[in-house]
């Protein structure tokens, strides 16, 4: 089977999925059954790197949606704790962590959007 230019192989797709859940490139190469040097070479390939970045973005988007879904629950927890006057430190910290992370993700999304726009402008000006 021939690989079309600009596309990655099934083995590379699997490597990307494993990279997303591995602690290191070394661990990912072992799980994939690839030589470490092969995976490092793939990581320097623009097509593979673009596919990896796209998949990382998709993963972050999914995590953001899940975290956003917890936002209302976190606010409810905080409201119940405030109303009850009970000491529920663990639940309060968890709720606060959800809200803090939602705010951070929102800031990161804004930075990412601005960076993408800047990159597009630079690209257009270099043509």
* pTM, rounded to two decimals: 0.63
- Please state the domain extents for the chain: 62-127
| CA angle 17–20–23, rounded 5-degree value | 125
> How far is residue 9's CA from residue 59's CA, in Å, rounded to a whole number?
20
Dump pLDDT digits (tens) for 11-38: 999 999 999 999 999 999 999 999 999 9
- Ranges of H-type helices in 1-127: 10-21, 25-32, 36-44, 46-84, 89-126
Q: What is the mean pLDDT of residues 76-90?
A: 79
- What rounded mean pLDDT belongs to the chain? 86
């Amino acid at each position: 089977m021939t690989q079309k230019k600009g596309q990655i192989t099934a083995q590379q797709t699997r490597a990307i999925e494993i990279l997303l859940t591995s602690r290191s490139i070394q661990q990912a190469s072992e799980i994939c059954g690839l030589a470490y040097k092969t995976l490092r070479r793939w990581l320097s390939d623009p097509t593979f790197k673009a596919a990896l970045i796209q998949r990382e973005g998709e993963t972050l988007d999914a995590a953001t949606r899940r975290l956003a879904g917890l936002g209302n629950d976190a606010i409810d927890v905080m409201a119940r704790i405030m109303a009850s006057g009970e000491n529920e430190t663990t639940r309060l910290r968890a709720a606060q962590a959800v809200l803090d992370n939602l705010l951070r993700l929102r800031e990161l999304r804004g930075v990412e959007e601005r960076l993408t726009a800047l990159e597009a402008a630079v690209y257009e000006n270099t043509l």
